[in-house]
Chains A and B, each alone.
Chain A
Amino acid sequence: MTRITAPSCQPVDRASASTASEQTRKAKPPKAPSDREGFRQAMSWLHTWAGLILGWLLFAIFLTGTLSFFKNEFNLWMRPEMHGLQPVEAAAPQVAQTAQRALDALVRKVPNVTQWIMHLPDDRDPAVNILWRDTGNGRFETLRMHPQTGEAIDTRQTMGGDFFYRFHFELRTAQKGRWTLQGRWVVGVATMLMFVALISGVITHRRIFKDFFTFRPTKGGQRAWLDAHNVTGVLVLPFYLMITFSGLMIFHTLYMPAGIATAYQGEKGVDSNAYFADLQGEKAESRPRRGLGDKVEPLPAIALPPILAEARTRWDGGRIGSVQARRDAKGRAVVEVTRHEGDRLQYRPPRLLFDATTGQWLDQADATGPAVKTYGVLYGLHMARFADVGLRWALFGFGVLGSLMIATGMVLWSVKRSATSQTQASRKGAAANTDAVTKAPFGERLVAAINIATLAGLPLACGVYIASNRLVPLNVEGRADVELAWFFSAWGLALLWALACAVVRPSRMGWSVPLGAAGLVWALLPVINALTTHTHLGTTLPAGEWVWASMDLAFLATGLLLGGLSWRLRPGRAPRGKAAATKAQRTTPVAALPAASDVSASTSGA
């Protein structure tokens, strides 16, 4: 059985099989054997294989990353106990009172706190979020507080939107991180392959401008999938290049530390602390490094209002995002005020340093060099903390398109591959043998199965995760991890189903059942929400609480889209017209998808 198609292997075999490539040239319309053509073919080959190997992982990374654009909204929706908090305008003067009230409440609860980071409420998150610790360098605890009263809000245990966020860059599988470093490396390798696939994809497309306007869904089969892949790929190409490249740069200290190792080489080895300080525009001595068990003096009493008032004057009334207090390397207690992340594109925002006891201004920390600023803007573009609602939805749309680009690419690989092996099988005279026609090689069936498990299984798993947030009893031990267990169980079930339907006994049910289940779960989310909480559409719509209501509405829309997709892919449905039907039957065996008319529909959620 032939494994590699003729044009694909040409660049690789050019040296060893010159007679063969001559034969290929005879069989095909004559092409100028220019070096450019060979390069393009090599890149086409690279694009195909680099894309396949980590495409599934990339789809998961892309989809969860897309959902993470609405991390705060997921965090809110998945904690209905936070409903009803009055929003505090981040620029308003009462922010200082809110901060002081929260700090007083924290000190009452933890008298010898050594460090705290307080995120002030804004238009996306109405609560005061405090991370605190009473050790030198231990784990931070989280505390959510009512902005007006300073009372702790007792929310259900959940990772909320942070799960999508953490899965996106470190494949997080549990609330308390495990294998996070390994996860980040795997994501890094996938990101690099995406980068290579993007660049080789651009080189492969000689008609990149024309592809922009070419989509022929009625042609059916491989052509439609190729068009869909090209349209989704070319349409927002700058976004993909930006998001992959910035993804690599965000973790450059992990992925590519070679430059730091030489330029920051000192007498006592590499001074990475100095690098991090330069990167953040800080002084190295203001970055205390302590051991886990080191004793640190508790913080003194701090008066926040004068500090925050001065910070606002220095920033011309700009919003304050967060405040933190700690002891620096010399043991002096300092307060650091961070500007709101929505106030500019570059990440991180500028920070002002104050003496905690006297309230005197000490320093401003900000990255100002051209390369550091470039890095900060890339970082900011990736995180999209600057974006308001409209832009956030646009970025979300780009993310959905990116997920579709990867998904159509994976399906295209499958469709193209089975078309090739079918043609070759019929050339060998095996067409009469129906078994050879219906049963693709094991490798192709496996790819088809993992396609189903990822492209249909992940939306299902995400829906089940959100549903579990409402369905798992509130007093269950380790509740946050139980929700994750629901997520991974649903995904695992989808994989088992896909293996059964595509590998063991090929059947057209493979796609429609998990997609249908996903559609059902997503569409039922507003209903489940209405049955289990008071933050449902019946109360949020009349009250005009759009953050809450649009979550439910988006879930419903996602469910309808997935359901529609499942309906179109149901068994026994002729793809599109008679001509397309016969063509599809000829080119696509059971494992691949029938029609391509649905690629414009979303495969993702909310």
Chain B
Amino acid sequence: MKATRVDGRYRLAITSRTVAAIGGGYALAAGFAAALSLLLAQCMPRVEAVLTATMLSWAVYAMAAGWAFYARTAWGAWGGTLLPAMVLGASATAPQWMRAVA
């Protein structure tokens, strides 16, 4: 069975997915927590917003880790975690940039 052969390429792909799951997944969860905290803080006390977002972020992390090993390619694992992480991170830091510019 060809699929069971372990070559360097396969190991590289697994390593890449593992890093994507841990690092990319954390980035996504942190971006999620940051953006949702900021959003929820508009309509509830800050501490409530932070805790709600942080509790949910662990589920996001777990799902991201699952995705990293389910994606069709290792690139997909990275794209699926880092792209939304960047979008969320940017929207969470945007208010600060605006303040700095203004």
Contacts and interface: CB of A to CB of B under 8 A. Distances in A.
A6 interface: yes
Given A192-B61, A371-B55, A13 B3 contact: yes
Given A6-B1, A12-B13, A23-B1, A259 B50 contact: yes
Contact of B66 (A5, A42, A189): A42
Nearest to B46: A263
Nearest to B92: A262
B69 A23 contact: no
Interface residues of A, number: 56
Interface in A34-56: 38-39, 42-43, 45-46, 50
A248 B58 contact: yes
Interface stretch (A113-121, A193-201, A508-516): A193-201
Interface string B43-83: 01111111111110110011001100110110000000000
Interface stretch (A14-22, A292-300, A496-504, A544-552): A14-22
B58 A245 contact: yes
Interface string A261-285: 1111100000000010011000000
B86 interface: no
A9 B55 contact: no
Interface in B6-60: 6, 9-10, 13-14, 17, 22, 29-31, 33-38, 41, 44-55, 57-58
Contact of B54 (A2, A15, A23, A249): A249
Contacts of B44: 369
Interface residues of B: mostly helix, strand, loop or mixed? helix
A199 B64 CA distance: 12
A371 B6 contact: no
B17 A12 contact: yes
B69 A45 contact: yes
Contact of A263 (B6, B17, B41, B93): B41
Given A43-B66, A192-B61, A371 B52 contact: yes
A526 B94 CA distance: 64
Contacts, number: 145
B51 A374 contact: yes
A262 B4 contact: no
A370 B53 CA distance: 13
A24 interface: yes
A3 interface: yes
A260 interface: yes
A195 B3 contact: no
Interface of A is mostly: helix
Nearest to B11: A3
Given A249-B54, A259-B49, A371-B51, A2 B4 contact: yes
A589 B61 CA distance: 38
A19 B2 contact: yes
Contacts of A275: 46-47, 50
A39 B52 CA distance: 28
A20 B29 CA distance: 35
A11 interface: yes
A215 interface: no
Contacts of A39: 70
Contact of A196 (B6, B37, B62, B93): B62
A9 B4 contact: yes
Contacts of B48: 369-372
A4 interface: yes
A19 B4 CA distance: 12
21 contacts: A3-B4, A4-B10, A12-B10, A12-B14, A15-B72, A15-B73, A16-B13, A19-B2, A20-B1, A20-B4, A21-B3, A38-B70, A258-B37, A258-B57, A259-B33, A259-B51, A259-B53, A262-B34, A262-B37, A371-B47, A374-B55
Interface of B: 1-6, 9-10, 13-14, 17, 22, 29-31, 33-38, 41, 44-55, 57-58, 61-62, 65-66, 69-70, 72-73, 92-93, 96
In order of increasing CB-CB distance, the 7 nearest A-B pairs are A20-B3, A259-B37, A278-B47, A258-B30, A20-B2, A371-B51, A259-B50
Given A16-B13, A196-B66, A371-B55, 16 more contacts: A3-B6, A5-B4, A11-B70, A12-B13, A13-B3, A14-B72, A16-B9, A23-B2, A46-B66, A195-B61, A245-B58, A258-B29, A259-B33, A259-B54, A262-B37, A262-B93
